[in-house]
């Protein structure tokens, strides 16, 4: 995985060199992933095999609208020249991106605030909680399963302990191990969070656990995920089911994602 291949003098030539040397060394074929950062939305031009989201980079890419800057609403000791976004709006922006026809892996972060490193020009993502992180991770997991073959289902999390960017899965004093526990629930298919996002002005409104469980079991995405899992070992059948899904259910998918 290369963070910024657009800075390489000749990324395509480098990729070919790496592949050749790995074959000569007996490693075999390698899979090269380009991080989609700093406005770059392409991996093909570099001769790489795939791309990976790197939120909050390219948050408005792939046709998504610019997010509302809530920095003026924050109480700060000094004027802020940076940008502040709502966590739920950031998550929804990435969830709505469609990668079904391109090999781009999804990525989720638990929180983001790089003010410790950049001061008043920071990029801050506000109101992040383990519950919202779990909702984003669950939605990204469903999309990964519905869009990718079993051997291509990679989902990235940024990051384990990026403390100077306010981005960490590691336990902290505020939430303890909540983000790790949320990750575990999603990974083993036991998450019961709703995939519906409340508008930011109503962000304090939460569903009761029983209501969340009811929505979780009833949503079409859960059924699609189970069908995809059952067909993952049969590529032709899986592709036919994927095509049927795009034609029939996909147009209605956004109804269950807010």
Residue ranges covered by each domain of the chain: 1-53, 55-256
Most confident of 63-67, 111-115, 215-219: 111-115
pLDDT at 86: 96
Least confident stretch, 14-23, 152-161, 201-210: 201-210
105, 102, 38, 92: which is closest to 65 by C-alpha? 92
Mean pLDDT confidence for 147-174: 95
Among 88, 101, 30, CA closest to 59: 88
Q: Burial, 254: exposed, middle or buried (Cβ in 10 Å; 0-12, 13-18, 19+)?
A: exposed
Model pLDDT for residues 35-81, shown as the tens digit of each residue:
999 999 999 999 999 999 999 999 876 556 689 999 999 988 889 99
Angle formed at CA 67 by CA 61 and CA 107, multiple of 5 degrees = 50
HSE-CB for 195 with a 13 A CA cutoff: 23
Given this model, what pLDDT does residue 208 score? 36
| DSSP track, 8-45 | STTHHHHHHHHHHHHHHTT------EEEE-TT---SGG
pLDDT at 148 over 70: yes
Q: Is it the case that residue 14 has pLDDT exceeding 60?
A: yes
φ/ψ (deg, to 5) at 204: -80, -15
CA separation for the pair 115, 125 (Å, rounded): 11
Rounded to 5 degrees, what are φ and ψ at 69? Answer: -85, 115
Higher pLDDT, 215 or 6: 6
Confidence of residue 28 (pLDDT cuts 50, 70, 90): very high
Q: What is the dihedral sign for C-alpha 234, 50, 130, 69?
A: negative
Cα–Cα distance measured from residue 141 to residue 91, given in angstroms and rounded to the nearest whole number: 13
The span from the CA of 191 to the CA of 170, in Å, is 20
On the question of pLDDT at 196 being above 50, the answer is: yes
CB 94 within 8 A of CB 140: yes
Q: Mark residue 47 as left, alpha or beta (left: phi above 0; alpha: psi -120 to 50; beta: remaining).
A: left
| Bridge partner residues of 155 (DSSP) | 106
Nearest of 238, 58, 221 to residue 152 by alpha carbon = 238
Q: How far is CA 240 from CA 16, 150, 254, in A?
A: 33, 15, 22
**pLDDT for residue 220:** 53
């Amino acid at each position: 995985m290369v963070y910024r291949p657009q800075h390489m003098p000749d990324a395509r030539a480098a990729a070919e060199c790496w592949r050749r040397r790995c074959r000569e060394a007996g490693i075999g074929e390698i899979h090269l992933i380009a991080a989609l950062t700093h406005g770059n939305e392409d991996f093909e031009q570099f001769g790489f095999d795939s791309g990976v989201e790197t939120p909050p980079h390219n948050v408005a890419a792939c046709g998504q609208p610019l997010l509302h800057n809530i920095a003026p609403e924050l109480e700060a000791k000094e004027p802020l020249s940076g940008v502040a976004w709502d966590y739920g709006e950031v998550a929804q922006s990435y969830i709505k991106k469609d990668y079904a026809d391109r090999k781009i892996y999804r990525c989720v972060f638990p929180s983001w605030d790089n003010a410790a490193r950049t001061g008043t020009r920071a990029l801050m993502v506000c109101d992040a909680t383990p519950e919202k992180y779990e909702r984003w991770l669950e939605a990204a997991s469903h999309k990964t399963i519905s869009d990718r073959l079993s051997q291509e289902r990679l989902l990235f999390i940024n990051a384990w302990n990026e403390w100077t960017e306010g981005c960490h899965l590691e336990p902290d004093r505020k939430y303890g191990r909540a983000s790790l526990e949320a990750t575990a629930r999603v990974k083993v298919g036991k998450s019961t969070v709703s995939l519906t996002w409340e508008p930011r002005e109503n962000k304090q409104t939460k569903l009761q656990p029983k209501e969340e469980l009811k929505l979780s079991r009833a949503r079409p995405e859960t059924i699609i995920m189970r069908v995809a899992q059952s067909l993952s070992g049969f590529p032709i059948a899986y592709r036919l089911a994927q095509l049927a899904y795009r034609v029939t259910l996909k147009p209605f998918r956004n109804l269950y994602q807010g």
